[in-house]
Amino acid sequence: MIYADYNATAPLRDEARRAMLVALDAGANPSSVHAPGRAARKILETARRQVATAVGGIASDVIFTSGGTEAIALAIHGAVAKLDGDCTLIVSAIEHEASAKNAGFANVPVETTYVLPTGEVDLNALSDRLKAWDTSRSGTPILVLMLANNETGVIQPVTEAASLVREAGGLTICDGVQGLGKLPVNVSLLGVDYLTLSAHKAGGPQGAGALWLRSGAPLKAKLHGGGQERSLRSGTENLSGIAGFGAAAEAAVTDLPAMEGLAALRDAMEQRLKAEGQVTVFGEQAKRLPNTSNFAIEGFRAETQVMAMDLAGVAVSSGSACSSGKVKRSLVLSAMGAPDSLAECAIRTSYGWKTKQEDFDLTADAWLEAARRRKLKETA
Ligand code: PLP
């Protein structure tokens, strides 16, 4: 089977598996003061340093969570609560549901910032909105903008957007889940106040994530209890998951050159697909993650393609990763201006650390064969 669904979950890296086994055997609570507890604490703090280093930050600014969704929820609700609700969330139209839905439940006004047909957030529109910002009426502006889109791979101009927001006296929450291990991530260069991460997108285990928080950025805890994670996220830490996360983050950053090398193979695959017919590649005019390709051909429904590819031994997804299985039209592609008839026909292939060069050829072979059969059926 060729696995081409890394943006949903990347296969576990060997480094992560090894670190997890050591952590599972630690058998103690990292908050305990005895020697086994201190050994568990050491594992936890090593992972914190690894995750912080992977995003150019310092360990004391990393708060571990149960994954990307919880990190996003903590950033949004925690910032809003600390500001006593005197704020407005500006959410990009292509955010993952974790951001869009948590913003919707935050009990403060939410504005949408739109994207260009390229899939990149419209910086001019954002700038105009922020220039007209009236803090006495709308409170602090909080921008929620992802680093790279999970469906199209389009990389967002986060540094530029965060700078506009900072000038307007606001804060930026960046969902970095799809960025880690796929492009260089540096919190200082991004200039954001909050960065959310998830282990399983970078070759770590599912169920571990982190919120990097700029020192001094407002945040109120949402989960109360034993005071772990500087009392910002109580609950005994998922030590093995976090150890796997740390090891995966470190390995993913070391592997960045190999990841970047996937772009040329991805582009060649897209050329082959496009040579055969009216294939649209979403986001191809913008800077994209090197591993992602989202394409469609009118009339060939996504679910049919996913099934045909599965039968041919290639695992791909349709629409958004987290909603695979419950196929629905992509809001991201609609936000980019794709007509419904085309958005319904989009599939996403995404690759990563285990991918071999021939996987791209075999993906193209399988898809071209499926498209040929569909044409035959149509003309029969
Ligand atoms: N943000 C993006 C861009 C994602 O792709 C995902 C998962 O698909 C998430 C957030 C949620 O992360 P997690 O699965 O760790 O909760």
Single out the residue in 201, 233, 254 at which a domain terminates.
254
Amino acid at site 368: L
Residue 220 shares a structural domain with residue 282: no
* CA–centroid distance, residue 245 to ligand 1 (Å): 14
* Strand-strand pairing, 87-92 and 2-3: unpaired
Which ligand 1 atom is at minimum distance from the Cα of 71? 16
**Among 291, 252, 285, which residue's Cα sits nearest to residue 153?**
291
Average pLDDT of the segment spanning 79-97:
98
Single out the residue in 254, 275, 309 at which a domain terminates.
254
Q: Measure the CA angle with vertex 214, ends 108 and 105; round to 5°.
A: 20
| pLDDT the model gives residue 325 | 53
Residue 177 shares a structural domain with residue 97: yes
| Beta carbons of 68 and 98 less than 8 angstroms apart | yes
pLDDT band with cut points at 50, 70 and 90 for residue 312: very high
Residue 292 shares a structural domain with residue 262: yes
Range of the domain at 369: 2-9+258-379
pLDDT in tens, 144-160: 999 999 999 999 999 99
Residue 310 shares a structural domain with residue 361: yes
The answer on pLDDT for 129 being more than 90 is yes
Task: Quickly count: other Cβ atoms within 10 Å of residue 82's Cβ.
Answer: 14
CATH number at residue 286: 3.90.1150.10
Residue 88 shares a structural domain with residue 143: yes
The answer on pLDDT for 301 being more than 70 is yes
Residue 189 shares a structural domain with residue 236: yes
Lowest mean pLDDT among 256-270, 314-328, 346-360, 365-379: 314-328
pLDDT in tens, 191-229: 999 999 999 999 999 999 999 999 999 999 999 999 999
* CA–centroid distance, residue 334 to ligand 1 (Å): 20
| pLDDT the model gives residue 380 | 76
The answer on pLDDT for 344 being more than 70 is yes
What value does the CA radius of gyration of the chain take, rounded to a whole number of Å?
Answer: 21
CATH number at residue 212: 3.40.640.10
pLDDT band with cut points at 50, 70 and 90 for residue 375: confident
Residue 189 shares a structural domain with residue 213: yes
Q: Is 175 in the pocket of ligand 1 (CB under 6 A)?
A: yes
pLDDT in tens, 164-196: 999 999 999 999 999 999 999 999 999 999 999
Q: Which comes out higher in pLDDT, residue 322 or 88?
A: 88
Burial group, residue 339, by CB count within 10 angstroms (0-12, 13-18, 19+): exposed
Which ligand 1 atom is at minimum distance from the Cα of 198? 15
| Beta carbons of 202 and 252 less than 8 angstroms apart | yes
Verify whether residue 345 is a known catalytic residue: no
* CA–centroid distance, residue 177 to ligand 1 (Å): 6
- Phi and psi angles of residue 314, each rounded to the nearest 5 degrees, phi first: -125, 120
Residue 63 shares a structural domain with residue 149: yes
pLDDT mean across residues, the chain: 96
Task: Quickly count: other Cβ atoms within 10 Å of residue 217's Cβ.
Answer: 18
Q: Which comes out higher in pLDDT, residue 326 or 126?
A: 126
pTM above 0.95, yes or no: yes
Single out the residue in 254, 270, 294 at which a domain terminates.
254
The answer on pLDDT for 323 being more than 80 is no
Torsion angle of alpha carbons 155, 127, 220, 82, nearest 10°? -170
* Best of 147, 150, 173, 183 for a ligand 1 pocket test (most atoms within 8 Å of beta carbon): 150
The answer on pLDDT for 327 being more than 70 is no
Full strand arrangement of the beta sheet holding 292-297: 279-281, 292-297, 346-350, 317-318
Average pLDDT of the segment spanning 224-245:
98
Residue 248 shares a structural domain with residue 264: no
Residue 214 shares a structural domain with residue 301: no
Task: Quickly count: other Cβ atoms within 10 Å of residue 22's Cβ.
Answer: 15
| pLDDT the model gives residue 320 | 43
Residue 242 shares a structural domain with residue 275: no
* Best of 96, 196, 330 for a ligand 1 pocket test (most atoms within 8 Å of beta carbon): 96
Residue 227 shares a structural domain with residue 285: no
Tally of structural domains, the chain: 2
Torsion angle of alpha carbons 297, 303, 304, 305, nearest 10°? 50
| pLDDT the model gives residue 297 | 94
